[in-house]
């Protein structure tokens, strides 16, 4: 019996020490560093208007009215559902995927007053991998600018300036493509109208 206790003691001690280090100390230290060094990001990069949280810089929202820039389609739940984040998992040869993209292309062209042969940015008709992407391509925003300006009764140059203001550059100056944060841009448009 003593031999068994002598063998179990180090195992229990290792579990206790590792639980304290990995389960308590490390998460507390990570949280402390995040709150001190990256407070806004650690709290979800929330966007507040008049003290009320209206969104996040990191998660897209669905906008469908003509006076708003429209985000990428979302495959997350019923659309931009953070609890159901995912892509559609349909491949590029799947007939359902091809049909939905074709329908989205036609709807995008009609909504933005584009000709039947006008090129449509891929992000305007396909969902992101997470289904929660807050950004659209600059080309997508530029194609939507005349519609938004007309719906709001604004000059296209004013809306174009806002698009430029809310365009994020490449990460570390080389990674990815520039994108326009739709949530921030639409909130800026609403603030402009107020």
CA–CA distance, 5 with 131 (Å, rounded to integer): 53
Residue 46 has a pLDDT of 85
Residue 41 has a pLDDT of 77
CA–CA distance, 99 with 121 (Å, rounded to integer): 17
CA–CA distance, 19 with 152 (Å, rounded to integer): 57
CA–CA distance, 63 with 189 (Å, rounded to integer): 13
pLDDT of the chain along its 194 residues, tens only? Answer: 788 888 889 999 999 999 999 999 999 999 999 888 887 777 778 888 888 888 888 888 889 999 999 999 988 877 777 777 777 788 889 999 999 999 999 999 999 999 999 999 999 999 887 888 899 999 999 999 999 999 999 999 999 999 999 999 888 888 889 999 999 999 999 988 76
Angle (deg, nearest 10), helices 138-152 and 156-165: 140
Angle (deg, nearest 10), helices 182-193 and 156-165: 140
Smallest Cα–Cα separation from 181: which of 160, 167, 165?
167
CA–CA distance, 158 with 119 (Å, rounded to integer): 24
Residue 144 has a pLDDT of 97
Instruction: List all residues 6 or more positions away from 153 whose beta carbon is below 8 Å from its beta carbon.
Output: none
Residue 161 has a pLDDT of 96
Smallest Cα–Cα separation from 64: which of 72, 56, 55?
72
Its sign, for the CA torsion 86, 56, 40, 145, is: positive
Q: Hey, where are the domains in the chain?
A: 2-40, 45-193
pTM assigned to the model: 0.80
Residue 194 has a pLDDT of 65
């Amino acid at each position: 019996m003593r031999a068994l206790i002598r063998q179990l003691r180090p195992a229990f001690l290792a579990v206790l020490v590792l639980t304290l280090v990995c389960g308590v100390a490390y998460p507390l230290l990570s949280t402390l560093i995040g709150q001190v060094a990256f407070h806004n990001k650690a709290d979800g990069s929330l966007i507040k208007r008049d003290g009320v949280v209206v969104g996040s810089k990191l998660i897209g929202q669905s906008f469908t009215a003509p006076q708003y820039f429209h985000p990428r389609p979302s495959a997350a739940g019923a659309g931009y559902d953070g609890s159901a984040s995912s892509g559609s998992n349909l491949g590029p040869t799947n007939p359902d995927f091809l049909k939905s993209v074709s329908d989205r292309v036609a709807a995008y062209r009609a909504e933005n007053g584009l000709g039947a042969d006008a090129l449509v940015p891929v992000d305007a008709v396909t969902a992101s991998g997470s289904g929660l992407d807050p950004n659209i391509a600059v080309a997508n925003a530029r194609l939507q600018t005349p519609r938004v300006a007309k719906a709001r009764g604004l000059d296209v140059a004013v809306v174009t300036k806002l698009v430029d203001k809310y365009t994020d550059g490449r990460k570390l100056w080389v990674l990815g493509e520039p994108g326009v944060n739709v949530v921030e841009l639409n909130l800026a448009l609403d603030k402009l109208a107020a």
